[in-house]
A and B are shown apart, each in its own frame.
Chain A
Amino acid sequence: MTSRDLILGRIRAALGDTGTVAEQPLPRRYLSAHAPADDPAALLDLLHRNLTDYRALVHRCTEAELPSRIAELLAARGSRTVAVPAGLPDGWLTAAVGVEPLPDDGSLTAARLDAVDSVVTGCALAVAETGTIVLDGGPGQGRRLLSLVPDHHLCVVRAPEQVVASVPLALPRLDPARPQTWISGPSATSDIELDRVVGVHGPRTLEVLLVTV
């Protein structure tokens, strides 16, 4: 007998008593959101607040200002190299003169990225209630290692279309087959006497640019 058969057999034997008990439908009486899902300005403010609360650096700008804001933020950090995921909109880095772009054609290694100053990405969506940004490897987001190895992650969120209120409203918009990273603030640890230290293994600085039209 294989272990698969053994385990499945044990499960069936263990559940012998449940056959006759009628099953209740799953109670899903919880809320689909805790914030007003139909108020984009309020949602954006909530996202902003929650991102900040978890120590992301949050900025706002318009679509037209985006290239210059990205350039400013990279310059302010003194970034000289930036990883560029496939499909990042062409205009985003045009103003960042003096910063060497490293477009990812699938060949950037972790070792190479370890020496890169920043990465600029878009996202799949953001969850206002929890202050979460979701990356799913779509255009402009890159392979997972791109937003992981460099020490500075600059992430662009377009409002209102990429902002949802809650986790229950986020999941239906995401593809379970795609690798996803949900990011809520920079990495952190409280392992030493519960003292919160921001920035352990992921990017120690997470900057979020909330872009409106």
Chain B
Amino acid sequence: MSDTFLGMPAFPQAAARAVRDRQLRANLRHATHTIRDKRARAVAELPDWAELRSAGKAIKDHTLRHLDRYLVQLEEAVTAAGGTVHWAADAEEANRIVAGLVHATGTTEVVKVKSMATQEIGLNEALAAEGVTAYETDLAELIVQLGEDRPSHILVPAIHRNRAEIREIFADRMASWGRPAPEGLTDSPAELAEAARLHLREKFLRAEVAVSGANFMVAETGTLVVVESEGNGRMCLTLPRTLISVVGIEKVVPTWRDLEVFLQLLPRSSTAERMNPYTSLWAGTTRGDGPSEFHLVLLDNGRTAALADQVGRQALRCIRCSACLNVCPVYERAGGHAYGSVYPGPIGAVLTPQLRGTASPVDASLPYASSLCGACYEVCPVAIDIPEVLVHLRERVAEQGGHPVERAAVAAAGYVLDHPAALAAAERLAGRTRALHPRRLPGPGRAWTDSRDLPEVPAEPFRDWWRRNRT
């Protein structure tokens, strides 16, 4: 696993810090509520949403059940179309493969399309260690990269930054990465986007290698699909001579026809659009059009461990739409950084502990980063029962028996739940529990109680769970 987020405090500590940050909370609240409402309207346009959702779930389940077969079929199809397929068991191997491919081209720069898989494996850092600079080209990722920051949301990774901060980052930092920001740059979003266009255009035009992820891979045809809005994806997928796509093995779908389900589910559930501005589809290489070399790196990195878990494997259906983040009361208050992984929000709370295990304090605390209110399940376009997986993972953490994190988590939860009145007295409670557990306090207690305008969503479901599972 990458060390990208090593040294992160466990969820409750990070969440407690985040809920005290007024700017972050205001931004998050605005973002999640706006996207949530728009999404509801986009989904309501389709009378057959429920049927699309169950088809999406069924296709993914079917694929996972025959994952070996579909990956082999995909490999054959991509190879037949002129691509080269690599298999990476873990992050380290994936990074080594990509670095080797970049070195072979003789270049020391790559342009990147936003890709969670490459963040997960810490590719940029690994390439930097090999003397290769990776330029993020998604506007939000550019903001994050120039600000030496971490993404905080799947869909809008720089949502924790406001326009004045972004202006400052561009004005201060663009020059050391390439074309400087225009003189007299203001904080109008249009001007900031224009500055990014100019800054990145220079990079697109000279880039020889691009690195991408993919939203879907079609086993029967070898077609990869990248869904985006800004056009930086098209630039990266079209202009360089060499394209390297790093994709989790769970992104495969069996047939071309299956895209009719996911290309309806994803845009509406993610950006609340009937269709996102740009979708690129390609199979291998095409003479005279686009990259002449295409490499697909199939990434395991813990996915097969998740697959082995009968309850947890449903998390592999995730199409990274981020709808669950926008409805989550815990995410709204804690922000994406508190999750200590590239996968924030409810999906992060179930995916990260499965990909990385629950050995570290932050990963062991993630299954507790939820009130189990169930809103995430309701909106999930592939019907992942996130609360079910959370409860299951809490059991797993508890079974680690004697794990200090688990003990502290349970102690904290128990204290809060046995003193329901304390839930309202946020400040006082935080003080008291700190005294009881001066060093570590994972679990939902801190995350919930440090925030002043709680509880807007009842803590009841979690309490129910606690009472059921404590005995």
Contact = CB atoms under 8 A, between A and B. Distances in A.
Contacts, number: 241
B310 A17 contact: yes
Nearest to B191: A197
Contacts of A212: none
A192 B81 CA distance: 39
A132 interface: yes
B459 interface: no
**Chain B CB within 10 A, most for which of A2, A8, A137:** A8
A127 B89 CA distance: 40
A31 B48 CA distance: 6
B105 interface: no
A201 B201 CA distance: 8
Contacts of A77: none
B447 interface: no
Interface in B54-90: 54-55, 58-59, 62, 64-65, 67-68, 71-72, 81, 87-89
Chain A contact-residue range equals 35 or more
Interface stretch (B124-132, B270-278, B317-325, B361-369): B270-278
Given A148-B235, A201-B234, A131 B274 contact: yes
A106 B288 contact: yes
- Main secondary structure on B side of the interface with A: helix
Interface string A1-38: 01110111011111101100001101111110010000
Interface in B283-334: 283, 286, 288-290, 298, 300, 304-305, 307-308, 310, 313
Given A11-B68, A176-B223, A184-B275, A30 B48 contact: yes
B280 interface: yes
- Among all A-B residue pairs, the 5 with the closest Cβ atoms: A202-B231, A201-B231, A14-B308, A176-B221, A10-B304
Given A3-B89, A114-B205, A186-B277, 20 more contacts: A15-B307, A29-B48, A31-B47, A34-B45, A137-B286, A137-B289, A144-B238, A145-B289, A176-B222, A176-B223, A177-B221, A182-B278, A184-B273, A185-B277, A188-B230, A192-B192, A193-B30, A194-B30, A194-B156, A201-B197
27 contacts: A3-B89, A4-B87, A7-B71, A10-B304, A10-B305, A10-B307, A11-B71, A14-B308, A27-B55, A143-B288, A144-B290, A145-B289, A168-B260, A177-B223, A181-B234, A185-B277, A187-B229, A187-B231, A189-B140, A189-B229, A189-B230, A191-B140, A192-B158, A199-B193, A200-B193, A200-B230, A201-B200
Interface of A: 2-4, 6-8, 10-15, 17-18, 23-24, 26-31, 34, 50, 54, 106, 110-111, 114, 127, 129-132, 137, 143-145, 148, 167-168, 171-172, 176-195, 197, 199-202
